[in-house]
């Protein structure tokens, strides 16, 4: 069983086959001496994929003649194939190659006409798509979000629309990569296990911390080079974290425990899973969130990254089980990237009251039928490609464009 038509695109050197990735640890002679495979082995595997795919009943071979910077070089397999066919004059190779190129030229010509000749095309069909702000029925809108997704609702509401209303999710990659999610999972497991072994206020041990780190990395990170790199980064911050944890006078009351807070105006459920909540001797609590990347600035916390502030609101409302309603004495981000860093959040009474009101105002706004979910409303980095940017036709508009609200779904909803 096979496909009737197979399209093999990206037949450009550096794309298919991809250029071998540089090895940060071993050069080629060292790999040979150690009995390791050379990076070029991946090219051989790609050649095998090409050989199998090109044997289909009907095949389209395509490559871009230019990229954004310069002309490209056709894939070695495409060059080899055309040279082989052209070198068979007695078997009509030249004629067969010309016929192949003529069939392909039909599609190239058609694509060129789209850009060169728009006469006769209705204006509504040729105009670019606007910056979208779909407005679905109120009944279809989410009534539950986590504290981390509130930032997404502020920065890029369209992503909330696509994820929670259209129910679209990015598929897991066929070949997993050591991305930020994996790195975060590793860090949280290391810190959680260490704090369980050495609670706050007890003598710490860097050796125990690093032993836990090695074990967790072995279990969670199958990429050897990445595993060694991450372990080296943890070594840089281990002593500082161990000393900081030993100086705390508190008990860990909550660790990665997901809870819910039901709001009434408007009716909404806010969920939160704090990395750690410590209870002080006087009954007050401190909330901590571990970070592997850059810590949010005060301005970012005030307007966008309200995770700790919202967790503080949940804690004061008694959302975290047996902990009950408590006073939040402090909250801070704890960074374990290239260095041990801390960034405090403003959880004063005035700050929490103001953010409660702002959250209610934000949620009420999206209970109005005419309120659309604007794409890239206030993104941090415009160049960053989000999972839902292709769906929003990001390349056809600019973040500075005025959004166009479009009523979608049941118009009576």
Whole-angstrom distance, CA of residue 192 vs CA of residue 198? 10
In sequence order, the β-bridge partners of residue 276 are 288
* CB count in 10 Å sphere of residue 385: 9
209-219 average pLDDT score? 97
Q: Looking at residue 348, what DSSP letter applies?
A: -
413 confidence band (pLDDT: 50, 70, 90): very low
Is residue 82 very low, low, confident or very high in pLDDT (cuts 50, 70, 90)?
A: very high
Q: Which CATH class is domain 5-86?
A: alpha beta
Using DSSP's 3-state secondary structure scheme, residue 234 falls into helix
Helix (H) or strand (E) holding 8: strand 5-8
Domain boundaries, the chain: 5-86, 128-413
Cα gap 379→384, rounded to integer Å: 9
CA 292/CA 45 separation, integer angstroms:
35
The whole-number pLDDT of residue 126 equals: 57
pLDDT score of 22: 82
Alpha carbons 413 and 410: distance in angstroms, whole number: 5
pLDDT number for residue 337: 86
pLDDT at 246 > cutoff 80: yes
Q: What angle do CA 205, 210, 216 make, to 5 degrees?
A: 130
Q: How far apart are CA 287 and CA 310, in angstroms?
A: 11
| Cis amide leading into 128 (omega within 30) | no
Low-confidence winner among 19-23, 153-157, 256-260 (lowest mean pLDDT): 19-23
Residues in Cβ contact with 363 at an 8 Å cutoff, skipping those fewer than 6 apart = 263, 266, 268
pLDDT tens, position by position, 352-392? 999 999 999 999 999 999 999 999 998 766 556 688 999 99
CA neighbor of 364 nearest in space, from 262, 269, 268, 261: 268
Please give the structure tokens belonging to residue 409.
């779904």
Could you tell me the pLDDT band of residue 113, with boundaries at 50, 70 and 90? confident
Q: Which of 10-19, 145-154, 185-194, 348-357 has the lowest mean pLDDT?
A: 10-19
pLDDT for 41 equals: 87
267 has a pLDDT exceeding 90: yes
The number of helices, as runs of H, and strands, as runs of E, in the chain is: 13, 12
pLDDT at 25: 85
Which class is domain 128-413?
alpha beta
| DSSP 8-class letter at 14 | B
> Residue 347's closest CA among 285, 291, 264?
285
The pTM of this model reads: 0.74
pLDDT at 357: 97
Structure confidence at residue 398 (pLDDT): 86
- CA distances from residue 333 to 276, 285, 330, 337, 379 in whole angstroms, order as listed: 11, 15, 11, 12, 21
Answer yes or no: is pLDDT of 194 > 70: yes
């Amino acid at each position: 069983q096979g496909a009737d038509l197979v399209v093999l695109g990206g037949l450009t050197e550096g794309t298919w086959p991809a250029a071998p990735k540089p090895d940060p640890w071993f050069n080629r002679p060292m790999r040979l001496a150690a009995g390791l495979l050379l990076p070029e082995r991946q090219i051989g595997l790609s050649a095998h994929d090409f050989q199998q795919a090109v044997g289909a009943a009907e095949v389209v071979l395509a490559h871009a003649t230019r990229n954004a910077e310069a002309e490209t070089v056709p894939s070695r397999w495409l060059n080899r194939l055309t040279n082989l066919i052209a070198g068979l004059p007695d078997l009509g190779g030249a004629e067969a190659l010309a016929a192949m190129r003529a069939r392909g030229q039909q599609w190239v010509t058609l694509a060129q006409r789209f850009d060169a000749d728009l006469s006769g095309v209705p204006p509504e069909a040729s105009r670019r798509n606007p910056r979208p702000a779909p407005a679905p029925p109120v009944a279809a809108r989410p009534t539950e979000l986590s504290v981390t997704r509130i930032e997404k609702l502020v920065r890029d509401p369209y992503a909330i629309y696509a994820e929670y209303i259209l129910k679209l999710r990015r598929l897991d990659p066929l070949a997993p990569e050591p991305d930020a999610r994996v790195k975060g999972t590793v860090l949280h497991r290391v810190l959680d296990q260490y704090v369980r072994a050495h609670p706050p206020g007890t003598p710490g041990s860097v050796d125990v911390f690093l032993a836990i780190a090695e074990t967790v990395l072995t279990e969670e990170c199958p990429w050897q080079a990445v595993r060694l790199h991450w372990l080296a980064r943890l070594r840089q911050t281990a002593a500082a974290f161990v000393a900081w944890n030993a100086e705390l006078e508190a008990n860990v009351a909550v660790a990665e425990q997901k809870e819910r807070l039901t709001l009434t105006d408007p009716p909404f459920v806010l969920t939160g899973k704090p990395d750690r909540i410590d209870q002080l001797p006087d009954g007050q609590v401190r909330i901590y969130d571990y970070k592997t990347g850059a810590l949010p600035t005060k301005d970012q916390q005030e307007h966008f990254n309200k995770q700790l502030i919202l967790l503080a609101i949940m804690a004061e409302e008694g959302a975290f089980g047996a902990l009950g309603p408590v006073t939040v004495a402090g909250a801070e981000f704890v960074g374990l990237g290239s260095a041990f860093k801390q960034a405090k959040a403003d959880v004063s009474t005035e700050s929490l009251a103001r953010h409660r009101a702002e959250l209610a105002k934000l949620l009420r706004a999206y209970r109005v039928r005419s309120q659309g979910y604007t794409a890239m409303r206030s993104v941090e980095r415009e160049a960053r490609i989000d999972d839902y940017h292709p769906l929003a036709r990001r390349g056809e508009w600019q973040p500075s464009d005025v959004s166009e609200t479009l009523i979608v779904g049941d118009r009576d909803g």
